[in-house]
Amino acid sequence: MSKLREQMLKDLQIRRFSTSTQKQYIRAVRDLARYYGKSPELIDCSQVQDWLLYLMNQRNLNWSTVNTICAGLKFFYSVTLGLKGELFSIPSRRTPRSLPAILSAEEVESLFSVEEGNLRNQTLLMTTYAAGLRVSEVIRLTVKDIDSKRMMIFVRKGKRAKDRYTILSKRLLSQLRSYWRVYKPKGQLFPGKKPATNIADSTARGIFVMAKAKASITKNGGIHMLRHSFATHMLEAGVDLRTIQILMGHSSIISTMHYLQMTRKKFDDTQSPLDRLDIPERD
C-alpha cells in the first residue's frame, strides 16, 4: 500500500467512515491515477473534471455513481492532500432523485414463497423486509440482537455508525426460531464461510436477485427494494412518519417524507376527472 493510500485510509477511519465508503473513496482515487498513469497528487483540477466528464459521457455511469466518485476525490484532495479553496474544487451539482420501485404485498409474498426450499435465503429476505433493514445491517445481525421479550431488533452501527432499534414481528420471530432450529447460529445470525464472520454483502444481494428472477418480478432494483417496500407499506397501513423515521434510522424526516410520493393510500379514493365525464364505454 502506497503512503498516500495509507494516509487516506487513516483519514477516513479517524472520521469513522463506513468500510464500504472507505473502499469506494480509495477506489475512486486509484482509478483516477490509473487513467492518467501517474500519482494522484500530480493530477490537477481540470484533469479531474475531464475524467468525471469521461465517466458520464463515455462510460455512461449514472450520476449517483459519479457523485460517489466525486465525493471520494474531494476527500482525497481537500483532506489527505490538504488543498483548500481555489487550489482544488469540483463544482457541485444537483443530484437527480428518481423514485425507487416498490414491491406490492403480493410480490413480496411471491418473493418469499419461491425460497421455501431454502430456509436461510427465505429468512434473510424476510428479515430485511420485516425490519426495514439495509443490506449492510441485516448481514451484521447477531443472535443476541433479536430481543424476543421486547419484540425488537437491535441494529448495530447502521448508516453513519448509529445504533437503533426496529420492530420484531411475530411472524418473523416464528421464522427465526425455525431457522435457528435448523442452522443453530451461535454468533452471527447469518454466518459466512469463515468462522465468526457474517455472510458477504454480495451474497445477500445475489440471493435477492435470484429470488426476484424466480418470482418473475421484472421491476428494477436490488435488495434495497425490500427496505423501500417496508417503509411504503407501513405508511399505507397508517403508521405515522415519525415512527417510520425512527425504525429506518433516518437522520432527517425529510428522507422519510419521500415515501409519501410512493404510497397508494392517498390515491385509492382519488377519482380521475375522466371518470366523472359521461363518455360511453366501448364494447
pLDDT in tens, 140-154: 999 999 999 999 999
DSSP conformation letters of 165-209:
EEE--HHHHHHHHHHHHHH--SSBSSB-SSTT-BPPHHHHHHHHH
Which of 2-16, 26-40, 246-260 has the weakest average pLDDT?
A: 246-260
Angle between helices 119-131 and 170-183 (to 10 degrees): 150
* Among 74, 134, 140, 228, the one annotated catalytic: 134
259 belongs to the catalytic site: yes
In the CATH hierarchy, which fold is given to the domain comprising 105-261?
Answer: hpI Integrase; Chain A (1.10.443)
224 belongs to the catalytic site: yes
pLDDT of 132 reads 92
228 belongs to the catalytic site: no
Grid cell 434473510 is found at: 124
Q: pLDDT by residue (tens digit) across 48-88?
A: 888 988 988 889 887 778 888 988 998 999 899 888 754 45
Q: pLDDT by residue (tens digit) across 199-238?
A: 999 999 999 999 999 999 999 999 999 999 998 898 888 8
Instruction: Tell me yes or no: is domain 3-87 CATH 1.10.150.130.
Output: yes
The domain spans of the chain are 3-87, 105-261
**pLDDT above 90 coverage of the chain, percent:** 51
* Among 74, 140, 164, 227, the one annotated catalytic: 227
134 belongs to the catalytic site: yes
DSSP conformation letters of 19-68:
HHHHHHHHHHHHHHHHHHTS-GGG--HHHHHHHHHHHHHTS---HHHHHH
Grid cell 430481543 is found at: 147
Q: pLDDT by residue (tens digit) across 234-262?
A: 888 888 888 888 888 887 777 777 777 76
* Among 74, 212, 228, 250, the one annotated catalytic: 250
pLDDT of 144 reads 95
Task: Please list, in sequence order, all residues whose beta carbon lies within 8 angstroms of the beta carbon of residue 114, skipping any fewer than 6 positions away.
Answer: 211, 214, 215
* Among 120, 157, 224, 258, the one annotated catalytic: 224
Cβ density class 261-278: b for 16+ within 10 Å, e for less: ebbeeeeeeeeeeeeeee
pTM of the model: 0.70
> Distance between alpha carbon 186 and the CA centroid of its chain, in Å?
26
* Among 120, 159, 205, 258, the one annotated catalytic: 159
97 belongs to the catalytic site: no
140 belongs to the catalytic site: no
Cell of 38: 501517474
